[in-house]
Every structure is written in structure tokens, then in C-alpha cells.
Amino acid sequence: MTLKSKTAVVTGSTSGIGLAIARAMAREGANVVINGFGEGSAIEAERSGIEKEFGVKAVYSPADMSKPDEIEGMVEEAVKTFGSVDVLVNNAGIQFVSPIEDFPREKWDQIIAINLSSAFFAMHAAIPGMKAKKWGRIINTASAHSLVASPFKSAYVAAKHGIAGLTKTAALELATFGVTVNCISPGYVWTPLVERQIPDTMKARNMTKEQVMNDVLLQAQPTKEFVTVDQVASLAVYLCSDAASQITGANLSMDGGWTAA
């Protein structure tokens, strides 16, 4: 178990990729802080399920990743509860699909806040402790959209390109402190976020559901298969291992060949 007696904070982990990462960290022995929105009883079932299944402590933080004070509060609370934050996974993210001229201002602000600025604020709070311990792992869930664009996703693509730059900057600042900072850039992963954008894409492109699945989503992915949440989680666990100590500032694609094209 590579993460025994360590603490992992995973933002946006009540669902999808974040939940799979939180569970994978717990499987490796880490105490975990899960975060995100959802129905109280479902979140509590996940939290207590993690404790039972993996024999670690799991706490839930309801911090809203669009609110800097709540983000910093989440990290402070994790340190108070567990003594340190050793692994920070900035994963919370939302999507909105619309041509730029119709893109609502508040959606732009919300996506930049949740998908980009939240990672800055969480790092701002967690880095001093990691530097002091001379060990840390920061993993940002970016996207193939941190490397290439698609139409109608202006805020998302801007935020994801931004997080790739933030990752590189933090990696350089922390290079001599035993703290690595990387991003994982999945292609299309089958999660509620992908499922939810199908109706908007149908509207924006005037397509049927099948056309959106085959001609838009998997059209970009040469393997013609969705990435799985467990595959992303495995890479996150690997990045926490000693074997990965010299991987820092990297943007690791897991996209079925999408960005090779």
C-alpha cells in the first residue's frame, strides 16, 4: 500500500472520476477527504462505504469549489483532522456547451472558478504543509481539452489550458521540495458529466443522441472506446508512488489517441 498513513483530498469526488480516484487512494491506505455535491444519504453511503471497504478514515467536505474561502477551509479542516494533506487532487469540474456569442457570462465565470481557480486556491492552502514535510503529490484533472479545442466549449477549453499552465508553474516552484505536480488529461470518460452534455450538444449541433455519441464524442477518439474512471484512478495512484517521483510538470494524456491526431 503506497499511501498508508497519508491523507488525500480529492475535490469533486462525489461522482465520476473523482469518486474513483478517492476510492483508489483509500485502497492504497490513504485517509481521504471527499468533496462535491449530491444527495446527503448517497454521499454518506459512499463515505462510510470507503471506511468499511478499505479500513481508512474518510470525511466529507461540502466546500463549494467556486468559493475561495470554502476551498481554503476544506484544506485547513483536513490538516486539523488528519495532521497533513499529502495528496491533493484538483478534480472538480463542470461543463457548459454554447457558441461564444450566446455563452452566458455567469457560466463563463462559474467554469473558470470551479475548473481552474479552485485548483489555485487549494494549492495555495496545501503547499506550505507539503513543503514543510518535503513530500507531496498534486494531481490536476485536466482534459484532452487542455491540449486541443472543440467548438462551443470556450470556457472549458480556456480553463483546461489554464490548468495545464498552472501545473507546470507549480511543478517548477516545488521541484526541490519532493512535491510533484502533474495533470492527467483524459479523453472522453463515461461519467455523469459526459452524459449530461449530450442534450446540449444535440441542441447546439442539431443532432440525434446517437450522432452525438458516435460523431462528436467518440469521433475524436481513435480507439472508439470511452476511457474508464478506474483507468484514470490507476494513473493517479501511480503518480503518488515513488516510481513516479521524477514525473513532474507533465500533462499525461489518457485519451485513446485523440491528441495524437
Residues interacting with ligand NAD, by CB under 6 A? 12-18, 35-38, 64-66, 91-94, 114-115, 141, 143, 186, 188-189, 191-194
Please answer whether residues 87 and 127 qualify as being in contact, where contact means their C-beta atoms are separated by less than 8 angstroms. no
Q: Give the Cα-Cα-Cα angle 122, 124, 126 (nearest 5 degrees).
A: 65
Q: Which is nearer to ligand NAD, 133 or 168 (CB)?
A: 168
Instruction: For the CB of residue 18, give the shortest distance to ligand NAD in the complex, in Å.
Output: 5
Please answer whether residues 65 and 37 qualify as being in contact, where contact means their C-beta atoms are separated by less than 8 angstroms. no
Instruction: For the CB of residue 247, give the shortest distance to ligand NAD in the complex, in Å.
Output: 19
Start-end of H helices in the chain: 16-27, 40-54, 68-82, 105-112, 118-133, 154-174, 192-205, 209-211, 229-240
Q: Which is nearer to ligand NAD, 56 or 74 (CB)?
A: 74
Strand 58-61 to 87-90 pairing: unpaired
**Of the candidates 141, 31, 41, the residue with the CA atom closest to the CA atom of residue 82:** 31
Instruction: For the CB of residue 189, give the shortest distance to ligand NAD in the complex, in Å.
Output: 4
What separation in angstroms does the CA of 117 have from each of 110, 140, 198? 10, 12, 26
Q: Which is nearer to ligand NAD, 146 or 248 (CB)?
A: 146
Instruction: For the CB of residue 208, give the shortest distance to ligand NAD in the complex, in Å.
Output: 20
Q: Which is nearer to ligand NAD, 223 or 245 (CB)?
A: 223
Q: Which is nearer to ligand NAD, 79 or 194 (CB)?
A: 194
Instruction: For the CB of residue 105, give the shortest distance to ligand NAD in the complex, in Å.
Output: 17
Instruction: For the CB of residue 178, give the shortest distance to ligand NAD in the complex, in Å.
Output: 26
Strand partners, 87: 8, 137
Give the total residue count for the chain.
261
**Of the candidates 157, 184, 160, the residue with the CA atom closest to the CA atom of residue 97:** 157
Q: Which is nearer to ligand NAD, 7 or 115 (CB)?
A: 115
The catalytic residue positions are 156
Cell numbers for 225: 472506446
DSSP tag of 66: T
| Contacts with 260 (C-beta within 8 Å, 6 or more apart), sequence order | 222
Cα(66)–Cα(60) distance, rounded to whole angstroms? 17
